[in-house]
Amino acid sequence: MASSILHRATGVANYIGAVLVSLWLVLLAAGPDAYAIWEDLNAGPFGILITLAFIGFTFSVVFHLLNGLRHLAWDAGLGFDAKGSNLRSILIIAGAVIITAAIWIVGGLV
């Protein structure tokens, strides 16, 4: 149940995160003066919040992808048992946390 609600919430978060990424890309494409606005925001007190928002967006995308694969398995008629479904929910959430951490650590972003 929790992963179903989280799947819907991450779907909404993906749209919000896409706006944040789009803003970053627009400022990057607009040139050095426009991108300086982004760097000023990141250097100020909002820098930590922006970083946390990007980490949250990464988690949202990864979780939504992993849970979407589970939905594909359900469409094939697999994995409907209650005990196994709960275990897979926990594994998907744990996997999303681990993959998100790996992306940010390997990418040298944290």
Binding residue ranges for heme: 64
Retrieve residue 32's tokens.
């050095």
Query: 48 φ, ψ to 5°?
Result: -65, -40
Q: Are 29 and 71 in contact (CB under 8 A)?
A: no
> For residues 51 and 105, what is the distance between their CA atoms, to the nearest angstrom?
13
Q: Are 32 and 39 in contact (CB under 8 A)?
A: no
